[in-house]
C-alpha cells in the first residue's frame, strides 16, 4: 500500500482513532471472542509486490521467479506477484508465470491496481490467461489523503472506488481467465470507520459476491496510528456491518510502524478477520509489513498448524537473503541466527536439565525452559544453535556440550571447574568458544596432564588385607620407586604417591564410563581430590584399561592442585 504523508496527525485523524476506543471492551464482554488464534487464516504473500517495491534494488526477473517458487514450495496458495502496470519488469514477470505454466493449479496469483481506468486496463492485459487470479483494486480513503493529497470530498472518493469496481467487473467478463475481486480502502486506519464501511459496501453492491465467487475486503494498516486493540475494534465493526458478510472474505494488511504488526494481525483475527496479507520476515515499506514467519510460528507454538511449512528455516532464510539483498536480523523471532542461543549460565543449565527431563519423561508437550518451540522443528540443531559458550556461560552449558557432542558425563563439581575454565578463556580472548575448542580445552586442562608428576610403571599384588602396589614415578626428572597398600588399586596408587612426595590431599570423587559401545571401546575416568585448603582439583584419564585411565586421572588431578 502507498504511504500516507508524514508529520503530526490532524484532529480528524485523532478523532478517527478515538471514535472506536469504546468498542475495545466489547470484544471481551460479548462472549464471542477467543483468547488465541485457533486456526490458520488464508495467507497471501505480498513479498513480490509490497516487499519488492520496498527494496533498494528491486528483484530481477530471475530472482522473482526463484522467490515465487520458494513461496509455492512452503505452501502459499495466494501470492501477490506484482503491480503489472508499474514497470516492464513487473509486467514481464507476470507474463512469464502465465506463459511458462509456472503457476500450480492450487495457487492463485494476485495483482494490484489503483482505481484508475488506464491502470486497470493495463492490469487485465497482463493477467490475461491466468488460471486463477485475484485483481486487487484500491484507493485511499483517509482524512489526511482526502484533504492533503487528492483534495476531494467523501462523495468523490467513494465514486473513484465504485467506478473502479465496476470497471473490474466489466473487464473480467471480457478477459480470458478466472477472476476474483479484492478492494482495499487504503489508509483504512486513518479513515472514519463509518465512512470506510460506506465505501466498502458500495463496492460490494457493484460486485454482488456469491458463495461461489466471494469478494475480498482488505483492511490495511497502511500506517500504524494506534494500539492493536483499536485496530481490532475497527475490524470487528467492519465484520459486523459489511453487506453480504457470508460471501465476503475480510482480509488484513498490517504494516509495522509502531512495531505492532503481529499484534495487529492476531487481534484482528480474533475480531473476525479471515485472511492475512504479509511478507516473509516482515520486509516492506518503512518498518515493514507484518512478518508471516513470526505470525505463523506464533500459532505453531500454541499447537495450531499454520499451513505454511517452516521446517527448513535455514533454507528459507538463504533464498530470501539471496533474492532480496536483505539480511535477517539475528534476533528476528524464530528465524534469527541467535534466537535459540543461550549464552547465560543459568539459562544453559535450565535448558540442559529440561532436555534431560524430556529424555526421561517422554513428554507429549514441549516444555523446555527458555525455548518456546523445539528448534529442530524449524531445521535448527541443539549443538550449533542452542547452547553456545562465551564469558557469560557456566557449568550447565559446557557440561551439556561435552556430554551431547563428545560423550563426556562429568561429575557435577567437575562441570563447575570446566565451566570456570571455559569462561576464563572466553573472557580473555573476547570470543565465543565453539564445541571443538571446548573439547580441546577440556583435554589440555583435565586429561592426562603429566607434569610435574608422572607415573612410569605400576604393579599390583592382591594381599589378604588389600592391594599392594609398586609404583615407579617421576618428579622433575627424578625417578622414584614406592610401595604402598590400599583398599583398592586406585587407593593404593594414591597412597604410594602421597608417601613418595609427602602429598596432602583426600581422594574424594571417582566416576567412570565407557566412551564407545564396542569391544575395543575406551573408558574415561574422572578423579577429584580435596586439597588442604578445602578446594577441589580435577583430572580425567582415557584408556582401554579402566585402571590405567583412573591412574592417569589421579595424576592429572595432582598436577592440577
Please write the tens of the pLDDT for every residue from 142-158: 999 999 999 999 999 99
Round to whole Å and give the CA distance between 405 and 442: 13
CA 29 to chain centre: 34
Q: What is the DSSP letter of 560?
A: T
For the segment 245-284, what is each residue's pLDDT rounded down to a tens digit? 999 999 999 999 999 999 999 999 999 999 999 999 999 9
| Beta partners for residue 472, in sequence order | 457, 481
Round to whole Å and give the CA distance between 30 and 1: 33
CA dihedral 515, 516, 518, 519 (to 10 degrees): -20
Round to whole Å and give the CA distance between 378 and 394: 27
Q: What is the DSSP letter of 514?
A: E
Helices and strands in the chain, H and E counts: 19, 14
**Among 95, 142, 99, which Cα is nearest to 123's?**
95
**What are phi and psi for residue 132, nearest 5 degrees?**
-145, 130
More confident residue, 348 or 324: 324
Round to whole Å and give the CA distance between 126 and 134: 13
Count Cβ atoms within 10 A of the Cβ of residue 140 and give its class: 0-12 exposed, 13-18 middle, 19 or more buried: buried
Mean pLDDT along residues 91-114: 96
* Torsion sign, CA atoms 455, 457, 462, 464: negative
SS3 543: strand
The radius of gyration of the chain from alpha carbons, rounded to an integer in Å, stands at: 34
For the segment 315-331, what is each residue's pLDDT rounded down to a tens digit? 999 999 999 999 999 99
Count Cβ atoms within 10 A of the Cβ of residue 197 and give its class: 0-12 exposed, 13-18 middle, 19 or more buried: buried
Q: Residues 436, 353, 541, CA angle at the centre, nearest 5°?
A: 45
pTM attached to this predicted model: 0.82
With cell 625417578, the residue in question is 479
Round to whole Å and give the CA distance between 146 and 411: 72
Angle between helices 489-501 and 546-559 (to 10 degrees): 30
What per-residue confidence (pLDDT) applies to 20? 41
How many CA atoms lie less than 13 Å away from 19 in the CB half-sphere? 15
For the segment 211-242, what is each residue's pLDDT rounded down to a tens digit? 999 999 999 999 999 999 999 999 999 999 99
Average pLDDT, the chain: 90
Residue 447 in contact with residue 458, Cβ under 8 Å?
no
For the segment 365-403, what is each residue's pLDDT rounded down to a tens digit? 899 999 999 999 999 987 677 878 888 887 888 888 899
What per-residue confidence (pLDDT) applies to 4? 36
Total residue length of the chain: 561
Amino acid at each position: 500500500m502507498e504511504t500516507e504523508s508524514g508529520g503530526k496527525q490532524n484532529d480528524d485523524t485523532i478523532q478517527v482513532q478515538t471514535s472506536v476506543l469504546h468498542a475495545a471492551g466489547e470484544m471481551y464482554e460479548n462472549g464471542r471472542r477467543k483468547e488465541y488464534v485457533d486456526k490458520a487464516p488464508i495467507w497471501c504473500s505480498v513479498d513480490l509486490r509490497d516487499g519488492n517495491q520496498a527494496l533498494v534494488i528491486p528483484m530481477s526477473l530471475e530472482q522473482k521467479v526463484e522467490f515465487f517458487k520458494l513461496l509455492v514450495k512452503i505452501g502459499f496458495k495466494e501470492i501477490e506477484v506484482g503491480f503489472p502496470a508499474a514497470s516492464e519488469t513487473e509486467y514481464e514477470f507476470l507474463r512469464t508465470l502465465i506463459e511458462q505454466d509456472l503457476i500450480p493449479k492450487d495457487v492463485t496469483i494476485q495483482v494490484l491496481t489503483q482505481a484508475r481506468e488506464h491502470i486497470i486496463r493495463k492490469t487485465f492485459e497482463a493477467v490475461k490467461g491466468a488460471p486463477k487470479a485475484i485483481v486487487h483494486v484500491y484507493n485511499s480513503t483517509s482524512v489526511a489523503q482526502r484533504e492533503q493529497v487528492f483534495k476531494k470530498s467523501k462523495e468523490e472518493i467513494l465514486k473513484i472506488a465504485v467506478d473502479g469496481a465496476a470497471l473490474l467487473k466489466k473487464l473480467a467478463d471480457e478477459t480470458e481467465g478466472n477472476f476474483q475481486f479484492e478492494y482495499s480502502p487504503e489508509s483504512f486506519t486513518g479513515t472514519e470507520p463509518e465512512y470506510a464501511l460506506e465505501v466498502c459496501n458500495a463496492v460490494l453492491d457493484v460486485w454482488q459476491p456469491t458463495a461461489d465467487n466471494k469478494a475480498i475486503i482488505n483492511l490495511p494498516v497502511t500506517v500504524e496510528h494506534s494500539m492493536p486493540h483499536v485496530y481490532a475494534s475497527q475490524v470487528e465493526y467492519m465484520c459486523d456491518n459489511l453487506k453480504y458478510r457470508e460471501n465476503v472474505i475480510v482480509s488484513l494488511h498490517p504494516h509495522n510502524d509502531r512495531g505492532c504488526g503481529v499484534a495487529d494481525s492476531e487481534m484482528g483475527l480474533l475480531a473476525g478477520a479471515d485472511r492475512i496479507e504479509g511478507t516473509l520476515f516482515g520486509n516492506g515499506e518503512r518498518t515493514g509489513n507484518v512478518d508471516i514467519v513470526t505470525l505463523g510460528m506464533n500459532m505453531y507454538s500454541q499447537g495450531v498448524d499454520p499451513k505454511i511449512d517452516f521446517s527448513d528455516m535455514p533454507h528459507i532464510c538463504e533464498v530470501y537473503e539471496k533474492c532480496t539483498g536483505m539480511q535477517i536480523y539475528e534476533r528476528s523471532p524464530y528465524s534469527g541466527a541467535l534466537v535459540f542461543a543461550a549464552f547465560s549460565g543459568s539459562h544453559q543449565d535450565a535448558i540442559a536439565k529440561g532436555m534431560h527431563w524430556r529424555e526421561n519423561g517422554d513428554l507429549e508437550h514441549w516444555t523446555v525452559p527458555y525455548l518456546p518451540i523445539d528448534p529442530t522443528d524449524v531445521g535448527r540443531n541443539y549443538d550449533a544453535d542452542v547452547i553456545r559458550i562465551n564469558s557469560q556461560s557456566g557449568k550447565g552449558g559446557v557440561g551439556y556440550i561435552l556430554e551431547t557432542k563428545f560423550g563426556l558425563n562429568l561429575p557435577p563439581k567437575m562441570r563447575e571447574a570446566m565451566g570456570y575454565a571455559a569462561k576464563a578463556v572466553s573472557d580473555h580472548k573476547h570470543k565465543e568458544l565453539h564445541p571443538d575448542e571446548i573439547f580441546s580445552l577440556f583435554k589440555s586442562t583435565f586429561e592426562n596432564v603429566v607434569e610435574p608428576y608422572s607415573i612410569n610403571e605400576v604393579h599390583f599384588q592382591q594381599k589378604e588385607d588389600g592391594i599392594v602396589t609398586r609404583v615407579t614415578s617421576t618428579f622433575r626428572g627424578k625417578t622414584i620407586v614406592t610401595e604402598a597398600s590400599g583398599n583398592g588399586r586406585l587407593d593404593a596408587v594414591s597412597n604410594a604417591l602421597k608417601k613418595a612426595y609427602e602429598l596432602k590431599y583426600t581422594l574424594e570423587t571417582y566416576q567412570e564410563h565407557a566412551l564407545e559401545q564396542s569391544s575395543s571401546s575406551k573408558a574415561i575416568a574422572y578423579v577429584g581430590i580435596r586439597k588442604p585448603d578445602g578446594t577441589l582439583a580435577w583430572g580425567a584419564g582415557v584408556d582401554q584399561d579402566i585402571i590405567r585411565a583412573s591412574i592417569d586421572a589421579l595424576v592429572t588431578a595432582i598436577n592440577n592442585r
